[in-house]
Amino acid sequence: MVLASARSRVLRIGLAMTALMLLAACALGVPTPVPLQTRSASGTAEDGHGPQPSPQVAPPTPVTTAMAMAGSPTSTAPSVNPAQPQRPTLPQVGALAYDFALATLDGDEVTLSDLRGKAVMLNFWASWCGPCRIEIPHMIALYDEYRDSGFETLAVNVHESPAQVHGFAEQLGINFPILMDTNGQVAAAYFVRGIPMTFFLDGDGVIRFIHQGTLSEEALRDYIERLLAP
């Protein structure tokens, strides 16, 4: 009986360590922690600092403005007259998204500003990220559903090579463009410290919602429908 109790204790410790490793696995580096508003398990907003940095990415110019999050349906973007930033600044709801160009997994080039007129989901991810793997099937299903309604998804893969991503994309049947941010420069420009992280842009390229963490199908559908609403 003592042996069974000891085995049970070791099993519990092992499971706890595995869970902690999974939570820490998707941290990316930006040098200065930025206060974020995150959603708690109960669905209410609370202040926090998000994942702690791990592998370093080249830092953009630091700024001190706090990031606005749209973690609840009541969050709205302020009325602003956005101007294209000349250098990366901390993304905020109501600001124009920083423009960039990246090669796709298939070798084409996509420029963010070329998608004006469409609602855009800009998602930062990696194939080794467990939470990213959870939300990708929802992204695939809803991309199929809304792509003909003026909705586009750009999945920005961070710090991986095309060789690492090809098999994964084929296995899951990813049907939206995958952009290769192999050196992490675009992730740094968007101050991405942990993945998955998603920005939702309207047809004018203005950031309307920011979501850090895994997206459920229900939450993703809600963001898309609010973006496409007249």
Give the DSSP letter string of 107-174.
S-EEEGGGGTTSEEEEEEE-TT-HHHHHHHHHHHHHHHHHGGGTEEEEEEEES--HHHHHHHHHHHT-
Q: Are 172 and 225 in contact (CB under 8 A)?
A: no
- The first and second tokens of residue 100, run together, are 């960039």
pLDDT in single tens digits along all 230 residues of the chain: 555 555 556 456 555 554 444 444 476 644 333 333 333 333 333 333 333 333 333 333 333 222 333 333 333 343 344 555 567 899 999 999 999 999 999 999 999 999 999 999 999 999 999 999 999 999 999 999 999 999 999 999 999 999 999 999 999 999 999 999 999 999 999 999 999 999 999 999 999 999 999 999 999 999 999 999 98
Domains, the chain, ordered by start: 28-228 (3.40.30.10)
Q: Are 149 and 120 in contact (CB under 8 A)?
A: no
CA distance 44 to 36: 14
| Residue whose pair of structure tokens reads 């968007």 in the numeric block | 190
If phi > 0 it is left, if psi is from -120 to 50 it is alpha, else beta; for residue 43 that is: left
Does the global pTM surpass 0.75? no
